[in-house]
Amino acid sequence: MKLYSKGDDYDDMSSQCSCCVLCCGLCFGRNRPEGKVLETVGVFEALKQHGKYETGQLFLHSVFGYRGIVLFPWHARIYDRDVIPPMSDSKPEPPGSHGSKEVKGKTHTYYQVLIDTRDCPHISQRSQTEAVTFLANHDDSRALYAIPGLDYVSHEDILPYNSTEQVPIQHELFERFLMFNPDKAPPFSARDTLKAWQEKNHPWLELSDVHRETTENIRVTVIPFYMGMRDAQNSHVYWWRYCIRLENMGSEVVQLRERHWRIFSLSGTLETVRGRGVVGREPVLSKEQPAFQYSSHVSLQAPSGHMWGTFRIERTDGSHFDVRIPPFSLESNKDDKAPPAGYTF
């Protein structure tokens, strides 16, 4: 099956299977400027039912539709409140766990990936262009810097493809991190700079826990990341980033209207945050565009804490319901080193 981008005429797709046409539509089929056409960029490969995708694997994101390439995998623990463990596996929950359950015997593979910058304008209305953020290494304890076009992608969201291009992904880090190697499959190998960058930034990149919960067909997935500690006004300030994905698993069109957070700190404080939408947006979740993803940040004056809350969702008839945000822990690294001052090679 061929994967298309702008260049060839849509009529050339008529001989392709409906699956291929759908995947292309996710990328470029909507809001296409008048007169633009499609061109072939690659050929789909079989999905991996077992094992993991290797460094250098090209893929199409099955939900957000962008092209990307795998840098390296992460193995995460899944805490899924939709899964009820067998009674024999039930154990008393630790204090402050708020009922989060670990799916026994299962780890899940996620991938650190680069996003093709050409696709960012086409996904901006469905998701922020993902970036990994770090604490800036200077006196301003609130200063952050970001590396745009880096994302974490679940194994089942990968639609693998191959390409004959030696530079099939446009991203400023592509040629710094990867090199073309026609003797292997996929034909891209990690440069030493990628290995060094991964090792140096491992504490701030590591994905270890994923939390999920579904309410009335709206699934919320949360992935927290520890960012490090800074000294501010004779106290320690600990920072985390959290990535949230909302998915409409049903057929009814709904819109996120409000957020309500509860943030508990080990220091004993409990903060309540309410507001309209998320990151200045009130996304609509429909069958055509079922998911929205964003990232935000939180800081505590304690090395650990918990967050939980709800999203207020509105139906097309004006009625509302609350979707639970699965509770998740904010944990600092035991070996707390200074976060990196930037990405260097």
Mean pLDDT for back-to-back runs of 10 residues, the chain (345 residues) = 50 36 37 61 93 96 94 93 64 46 68 94 67 68 75 96 95 96 94 94 89 96 92 86 95 97 95 94 93 92 96 98 96 61 43
Which stretches of the chain are assigned E, i.e. beta strand? 2-8, 38-44, 58-61, 67-80, 102-115, 131-135, 144-148, 150-154, 158-162, 178-180, 188-190, 209-215, 218-232, 235-248, 254-265, 270-276, 284-285, 291-300, 304-315, 320-331
In degrees, rounded to 5, the angle at the alpha carbon of residue 340 between the alpha carbons of residues 338 and 342 is 155
- DSSP bridge partners of 285: 254
In degrees, rounded to 5, the angle at the alpha carbon of residue 280 between the alpha carbons of residues 279 and 282 is 100
> Are the beta carbons of 338 and 228 closer than 8 angstroms?
yes
Among 158, 155, 196, smallest CA distance to 177 is for 196
Read off φ and ψ for residue 204, nearest 5 degrees.
-100, -15
pLDDT of residue 188: 97
Q: How far is residue 221's CA from residue 238's CA, in Å, rounded to a whole number?
A: 23
Radius of gyration, alpha carbons of the chain: 21
Helical H segments across the chain, by residue range = 18-24, 120-123, 174-177, 192-205
pLDDT of residue 203: 84
pLDDT of residue 86: 57
Q: How far is residue 293's CA from residue 125's CA, in Å, rounded to a whole number?
A: 10
Q: How far is residue 217's CA from residue 251's CA, in Å, rounded to a whole number?
A: 9
Q: How far is residue 87's CA from residue 270's CA, in Å, rounded to a whole number?
A: 33
**For residue 118, what is the DSSP state?**
G
**Cut 0.75: pTM above it:** yes
Distances 181 to 10, 48, 164 between C-alpha atoms, Å: 32, 22, 12
In degrees, rounded to 5, the angle at the alpha carbon of residue 27 between the alpha carbons of residues 23 and 32 is 125
Number of CB atoms found within 10 A of residue 8's CB? 15
| Amino acid identity for residue 304 in this structure | S
Record the tokens describing residue 233, joined without a space: 């006004």
pLDDT of residue 256: 97
pLDDT of residue 24: 42
Residues whose CB falls within 8 Å of the CB of residue 275, separated by 6 or more in sequence, listed in order: 258, 259
pLDDT of residue 259: 97
pLDDT of residue 17: 35
pLDDT of residue 116: 96
Read off φ and ψ for residue 87, nearest 5 degrees.
-60, -35
Number of CB atoms found within 10 A of residue 61's CB? 23
Distances 122 to 128, 178, 268 between C-alpha atoms, Å: 11, 25, 44
